[in-house]
Homo-oligomer: A and B are copies of this chain.
Amino acid sequence: MSDQINKVVLAYSGGLDTSVILKWLQQEYSAEVVTFTADLGQGEELEPAREKALLLGIKPENIFIDDLREEFVRDYVFPMMRANAVYEGTYLLGTSIARPLIAKRQIEIANKMGADAVAHGATGKGNDQVRFELGYYALNPDIKVIAPWREWDLTSRTKLIEFAEKHQIPISKDKRGEAPFSTDANMLHTSSEGRVLEDPWEEVPDYVYSRTVNPEDAPDSAETITIDFERGDGVALNGEAMSPATLLEALNEMGRRHGIGRLDLVENRFVGMKSRGMYETPGGTIYALAHRGIEQLTLDRGAAHLKDELAPRYAELVYNGFWFSPEREMLQAAVDHSQAKVSGTVRLKLYKGQAIVTGRKSPNSLYSEKVVTFEDDQGAYDQRDAAGFIKLNALRLRLLGRRDG
């Protein structure tokens, strides 16, 4: 903490914790604080954050509130979806993918405002601190980073509240006690973890879910939808053209209604521990399925299998915070090369917590009824070729069998 800081850009939500951080930065570092509040579709109004920042003495020109929703979906969520990235077989990376964008914008503001530091409100046990800071350092190697949760002595709720009271930071009633769990939200998902979720054997209580209805309360009849893709990205819902963020929002609403995208998991954090979380990814879950559906029809086997082998690595990089790394960009280059013909329409059925693909069509389809048919294929495929194909694939196994058999 000995470093001299002049101006710091804080990722500011307007909530109690980052308000305390704001004040603490002013006090501890005697630094001018710039606040940055991003709309990533977390479903909260942002103007109260401006009011609160003003109240805490931030100069109007030092308050940044940006609507990043389209950029988020277009440049972060969709590229990741092209890669079919899934962490540990189940998690669609909803929190992970938002961090690099926040970091990028924060650095842009720091550069513009001549700030020499950035700060965030992530704790010292989680992945988010890593994701923020790897982003900061990649985009500005000389930036100073302040992570108050790793530095200060406000280590209990009580001390935090005391600090807030002492500095006239408004505290909403429900923030006085310990929250039964903590959440993070953006347009792609809401995550919940901590306290009531800490025992991985205990079922997630109903009140933790906020983005989806309970499947048992979802409509009793299925809904059928279509999504159109162009070059690997969604472009229309039920035939209506939509921007990336509009499309994802619309899918979120559908997913919410049908109880789709709930996930209860124990995951491995980059910092070395296991944690238990509950994620709701309503629209993203539908979208990911649809993307696989259109790839089934339009992607060559060689490309598809290479993608499947690279996907866990890609997901690990995003999860660990290496979005702005050469290796993630290399994988993206490979993935994007494969998507040139991934266009067409997928039909899905939504029902009681589940989305399933029920049909797909494409002008770029590689599926050939003529070749695959059980009927007479009029010479499109010579079955005798299979004999030679098998014989040569078997040759090494036969040589092995002769030696070892």
Query: Which A residues have a C-beta under 8 Å from some C-beta of B?
Result: 84, 88-90, 123-125, 129-130, 133-134, 137-142, 147, 149-150, 155-156, 182, 194-195, 198-204, 215-216, 220-222, 262, 264-268, 271-276, 292, 296-297, 299-309, 311-313, 316, 322, 324-327, 329-331, 333-338, 341, 347, 351-354, 356-361, 364-369, 371-376, 381-405
Given the known A-B contacts A150-B386, A399-B141, are A312 and B302 also in contact in the complex, defined by CB atoms under 8 Å?
no
Residues of B within 8 A of A396 (CB): 268, 272-273, 300-302, 366
Cross-chain contact B393 with A389 (CB below 8 angstroms): yes
CA distance A356 to B307 in the complex (A): 26
A150's contact among B89, B123, B387, by CB below 8 Å, is which? B387
Chain B nearest CB, measured from A339 CB (Å): 10
Cross-chain contact A388 with B384 (CB below 8 angstroms): yes
A359's contact among B195, B198, B202, B400, by CB below 8 Å, is which? B202
Cross-chain contact A130 with B386 (CB below 8 angstroms): yes
Residues of B within 8 A of A338 (CB): 326, 330
A383's contact among B125, B204, B302, B364, by CB below 8 Å, is which? B125
Chain B nearest CB, measured from A195 CB (Å): 6
CA distance A367 to B197 in the complex (A): 13
CA distance A176 to B402 in the complex (A): 37
Chain B nearest CB, measured from A179 CB (Å): 9
Cross-chain contact B330 with A133 (CB below 8 angstroms): no
Residues of B within 8 A of A274 (CB): 296-297, 301, 366-368, 372, 399
Cross-chain contact B351 with A201 (CB below 8 angstroms): no
A123's contact among B89, B333, B357, B383, by CB below 8 Å, is which? B383
A271's contact among B129, B137, B389, B402, by CB below 8 Å, is which? B389
Chain B nearest CB, measured from A115 CB (Å): 16
Contacts A272-B394, A308-B312, A352-B353 known; 7 new A-B pairs at CB < 8 A: A124-B383, A141-B402, A198-B372, A272-B301, A273-B371, A275-B372, A382-B388
A138's contact among B221, B271, B397, by CB below 8 Å, is which? B397
- This chain's copy number in the assembly: 4
CA distance A309 to B311 in the complex (A): 8
Cross-chain contact B292 with A89 (CB below 8 angstroms): yes
Chain B nearest CB, measured from A124 CB (Å): 3
Residues of B within 8 A of A341 (CB): 403-404
Cross-chain contact A313 with B309 (CB below 8 angstroms): yes
A308's contact among B88, B222, B336, by CB below 8 Å, is which? B88
Cross-chain contact B359 with A330 (CB below 8 angstroms): no
Given the known A-B contacts A341-B404, A376-B155, A394-B133, are A368 and B304 also in contact in the complex, defined by CB atoms under 8 Å?
no
Chain B nearest CB, measured from A166 CB (Å): 22
CA distance A329 to B381 in the complex (A): 27
A368's contact among B337, B385, B399, by CB below 8 Å, is which? B399
Cross-chain contact B292 with A90 (CB below 8 angstroms): yes
CA distance A203 to B264 in the complex (A): 31
CA distance A383 to B129 in the complex (A): 11
Residues of B within 8 A of A272 (CB): 301, 392-396, 399
Q: Which of A123, A302, A316, A347 has the most CB of B within 10 A?
A: A302
Given the known A-B contacts A88-B296, A268-B304, A272-B393, are A138 and B386 also in contact in the complex, defined by CB atoms under 8 Å?
no
Chain B nearest CB, measured from A347 CB (Å): 7
